[in-house]
A and B are shown apart, each in its own frame.
Chain A
Amino acid sequence: MNLSRRDFMAMMGIAGATGFLSPSAIASSWGSGKDPYEIPEYGNVTLLHITDTHAQLLPVWWREPGTNIGTREQKEWGVTPHMVGDKKLEYYGIKAGTPEGYALSCMDFDTLAHKYGKIGGYAHIATLVKRYREQVGKKAILLDGGDAWQGSATSLWTKAEDMVGAQNLLKEDYFVGHWEFTYGADRVEYLLKHKLKAKFLSQNVFTIPWDEPVFDPYDIREVSGRKVAVIGQSFPFTPIANPAYFVPKWSFGIHPGHMQKMVDECRQKHKADIVLVLSHNGADVDKKMASQVNGIDIILGGHTHEIMGPRPVKINNTLIINTSTNGKFLARFDLDVGKGKLNGWRFNYLPIISNMIPEDQEMADYINKVRAPYAKKLAEPLAVTESLLYRRDNFNGTFDQILCDALREEMDCEAAFSPGFRWGYCKLPGETITMEDVMGQTAITYPQVTVTEYTGAELKNVMEQVADNLFNPNPYYIQGGDMIRVGNIQYTMNPGETIDKRITDLRVGGKMVQANKRYKVAGWGAMQKVEGTPVWDIFAKWLRSKKTVSANPRDLPVLTKNMAGNPGIAFPKEYDL
């Protein structure tokens, strides 16, 4: 097969037509200048962006969500990134069944997974990064949007040091944070000061109570004779979405006013020719911030694990991307930076389809070395799955369904809650779930399982509060997680309503919930310090006892009829629509 640059551009959805590319054809043409990763040089600055790899050193399966609702009340109905499945492919003119269809939508996931293979992996990312660095030389800047330190067993057990090693090998230039902070302020400061070579930037982290900046807000570097400003924005809701006791003396927040001040400072005081924001706000928050703050050329976004594109979204004069998760994409911006302004740009989302990109030997050796002490423990087979297991979805992902089933049965509870995290990779039907996979869904620094007796009113309040973090019409209330996962709890959900009115017909075990009755609910990921068994031990124990598992039945809500036709829902029948 003759793969031209045009094919590649098509693959990325930049041109219209798309062509079929087989992994083997690409592998054989790798580096010949004819493979789809060949990008022509343009301009004088090249940005390479990865984000939210969630500590996945090795390639994994990653399915795009089947449900990612934006409501009319949010003015996000069918607006990027709230499009999924066929709707997303149609909107961007991408053909189903192609590599880009595989990378950008959830349709036929397991079939296409077998065809194209796993995504990500630091050895594959490293190969592509090195190749582009060789191509463009000193024009390249590599930016990591955070959430690199959490999500795997080895990152948890090495307290993120395995990831810092990989980041250093990649020669990352800049970094911001979110889950990084769950290792505690002391550990973060130690790694940033003594281990990580990349520069950590945040304009929105301040000391309590004096409001002094904890980190450098921005950095200015000269590239091709132009001044490039990079402003960092860490996750604004860190002490709300994750336990505040990890960072008791640090305050976060969005701080758009301070962001404006930083942008102005970069432009006026430092004469920056271009201003970039490396952001862990999440897609919706980035869009609103771009509408309020003037003078940002590009926001390189992450957190919500959405792919803003394949083409960047433009709000006022700011280009916004969001570069997925788990190492699925490397984003590349080629910029023509003029005196004080951006003259032109080219953009490519490069899916890290691991079968298409050879491993970088240096990184592969490093990964083997850091994993070696844990390899045996991680390889322990626990059970075989009959279902496709995934987490990322607005409501109960299938992996969370079996996790909730496990919590309920092991803790002898009538119901279970599990956090609406967006990390946690997939397993295909027929695959064996190993200890490593269990850790891939649960590796956090506050893993204790708890049993709580909630009144019916409290149960509803928990669910209403979380739903409001997802569907509030003001993007500055969107914390970036999905709906709380439930076990044996049934409900009707109206995302278009306001807090306390979204959930109706709430049942436990099919019976209507009574406000004053008490319900025994198993859960994990508490916001306060609690005692309890780590969730991975309980999940693993349950899996060993089952041998074969499937995610049936699923505790999905019924969605109200006003959600019919929502482009953020790929499989409406699952919600009785």
Chain B
Amino acid sequence: MFDAQSINLSLEILAVAILVTAFLIVSSRSLLFYVRLFSVQSFLLGLVAVVVATGFGEFHILVAAVLTIGVKAIAIPYVLNKIIDRIKVHKEIEFNLNITTSLLVCGLLVILADSVGKPIIDAQVMHALPVSKVLPESIAMMMIGLFIMLARKQAVSQIVGLLTLENGLFLSGLSITYGMPLIVEIGIFFDILVAALILGVFVFRINETFDTVSVDTLRRLKD
């Protein structure tokens, strides 16, 4: 089949591509673009799963790959698109942190992730698990996801941030093990699907109650 060298190379290329989609999300201000980027990101993640499954002969990961593409690349973006249509908010106008600074911070986060992930990879002296080379990218994804939730105010961006974070988790799961046991994977997918649906409903309610989907207004709930 394939030799280890080419599998490694293709995995790294895919991981970098996923990271690039995360950066693109940070750099844009259109909600529809976010969702599309997230869909692409999930599709690439599915490809990673396929490569891992075929390259290392762990075929049960194929199920996870199909679910990733089916749920994250198609179903959730569809739901999010509907939400955006319904609440009629297409642009992110206010930021907690402007785009330039955000990109700079994300760059720093990647450096941090790399410095954290490198020693772990180096520690595996034998490099018995070539997949683990994408660990820094997955850590960076998680942090960028959390950062998106921090920097943006729209409820939809919060959801996209959370999902990006989750994609990072999935990537790290793939990179450290050959994917988690199937039952766990399936559980997580349904979790994510349900979470996305519930968050979607919440966004409607927030919109109805406060006439805005900015999470700023939620602080009124404090008192």
> Do A and B bind?
no
